[in-house]
Each structure stands twice: as structure tokens, then as C-alpha cells.
Amino acid sequence: MNNTISEEIVHVNGTPQKLVIFLHGYIDSADYVEGKIGYLLDNLHDTAIHIPQAPIPCEVYAPKRQWYSMHRFDPDDSRKTVPTMEEFRAIYEKMKPGIVEAAEYVNRYIDDCLQQYGLDESDLYICGFSQGATLAMYLSLMRDRQIGGCISFSGVLAPYGYLMTHYRSTPDILLIHGTKDNLIRFEALDYTKSKLRQMGSAVSEYVIEDGMHRITDDGLVQARAFIESKSIKRIAI
């Protein structure tokens, strides 16, 4: 795969001392996410926030984008309806080829962004929503050097079997998930938390009572606090 990210939305507040990469979801776009994360855009200071646009038109709605195909591995959208967490997890394990392919071109983009601002891995925070959250966690664990932190909005860790034997670092990770998420079931939170801790990451969580599959303002408040706490701790060191 030779995809290259050529579209992005960038917000720079002050002199960047940290870089936030925010990955949109499946059947989604950078401009939609920009409209949903205003709290972060307004309240993260001395920060460059990049919202890259996936280069692949979405297979089910071409005006939107995807980081990798879902129907290639789940043609019937069974992940949304299978009765058990084990069946759900197994479907996401099959997505390894798509996640690995996407990580290759997103990592190139991240490297270019870090170089652009003269920042290093410890200044980097990778965030994502839904498909973008799964990819964000994979990227964070597979970077050669440990990043500042990762934030997952309504994501699930995958492919765990591969990550468990190939992960390269264990960044701090914040998991944000709604109890009534109808696309990535709420049980994915405990599953993801357990597996990340087995690998050695420090994991915190924020549960949105009655929350659906979306980015919420209270989740963004938690995300900002997480990023600021990590960057303050690094400056103190």
C-alpha cells in the first residue's frame, strides 16, 4: 500500500511544545472531527493539533473516508450484532492487515509532523475516535520510542494477539467510552484496559453514563486534563 496523507486541518496555539494528532473514525472526515473537538482546539496552549484526513475514500460512502477497510474483514458488519465479547474481539483480530497497512502511512505523517516542529516522541499525543482510536492505540504501542500519551474515544485494542508479541513501548493511555455505545460495545473498555495493563501501560478511564458512539464535551475535558498532566510532569522532570 502506498497511501499518503495529503489533506489535514491544523491548529497551532502559541509556540508548539507538544503535538496532538487526532485520527477521525470510519465513514468520517477531518472537518467533522474539527467541529467536534472545539474544546481541545481552544484550550490546549503551546500545542500544534493536527487532524489528518485518511487518504482512502470510504467503501460504503465515498464522500467520507476510512483508514482501512472494515468490509474486507467483516463484510456483514457482524461486529455490531454478535452476542459475545469473544466473537466481537475475534472480528477485530482479523483486521490486523488493514491496521498494519494504515499504521505505515500514518507513521510517515507523524514523523513529518514531529520534524516540522522540532519535537520528539515524548511531546507526542496520539488521539482517535472509533476506527481512529483503534489505530491510535496500535500506533502508540508500536512506535520505537515512547510517546507522551494516547487517548481512545470509543475504541477497542486490536490486533491484541499480534501486539502482545510485537509491541515496542508502553505509553500512558486514557480510555473514554459511553455505556450505551451501539457500535463499539461498552465491554470493549474493560477488555482493552486489561490487555493494555498486561503489556505494561498505565491506563486510566473515563466512563460516560448513557453515552453513545460519539465524542462528548465531558470526554474532551478529560482528554485535555490528561494531556496537560503528562506535559507538566515532563517539564518538571
- Helices 187-199 and 131-142, axial angle in degrees (round to 10): 10
With respect to residue 127, please indicate whether it lies within any of the assigned structural domains.
yes
With respect to residue 3, please indicate whether it lies within any of the assigned structural domains.
no
With respect to residue 161, please indicate whether it lies within any of the assigned structural domains.
yes
With respect to residue 177, please indicate whether it lies within any of the assigned structural domains.
yes
Total number of domains in the chain? 1
R_g over Cα of the chain: 16
Sheet containing 173-178: give its strands across. Answer: 8-13, 47-52, 18-23, 124-129, 149-153, 173-178, 203-208
C-alpha cell at 185: 460495545
pLDDT value at position 219?
98
Residues 46-89: pLDDT tens digits?
Answer: 999 999 999 999 999 999 999 999 999 999 999 999 999 999 99
Residues 87-146: pLDDT tens digits?
Answer: 999 999 999 999 999 999 999 999 999 999 999 999 999 999 999 999 999 999 999 999
Of 73, 81, 75, 82, which is closest to residue 60 (Cα–Cα)? 75
Return d(Cα 73, Cα 78) in angstroms, integer: 10
With respect to residue 74, please indicate whether it lies within any of the assigned structural domains.
yes
> What domain range is 47 assigned to?
8-236
pLDDT value at position 226?
98
Q: What average pLDDT is seen over the chain?
A: 96
> Number of helices and strands (H, E) in the chain?
8, 9
With respect to residue 1, please indicate whether it lies within any of the assigned structural domains.
no
With respect to residue 146, please indicate whether it lies within any of the assigned structural domains.
yes
pLDDT value at position 230?
84
With respect to residue 123, please indicate whether it lies within any of the assigned structural domains.
yes
CATH number assigned to the domain comprising residue 229? 3.40.50.1820
Considering the entire predicted model, what is its pTM?
0.96
Return d(Cα 173, Cα 193) in angstroms, integer: 9
Residue ranges with strand state E in 16-115: 18-23, 47-52, 56-57, 65-66
Q: Under 8 Å CB-to-CB from 114, ≥6 apart: which residues? A: 19, 120, 121, 123, 124
C-alpha cell at 165: 508479541
Average pLDDT rounded to a whole number, residues 184-205: 98
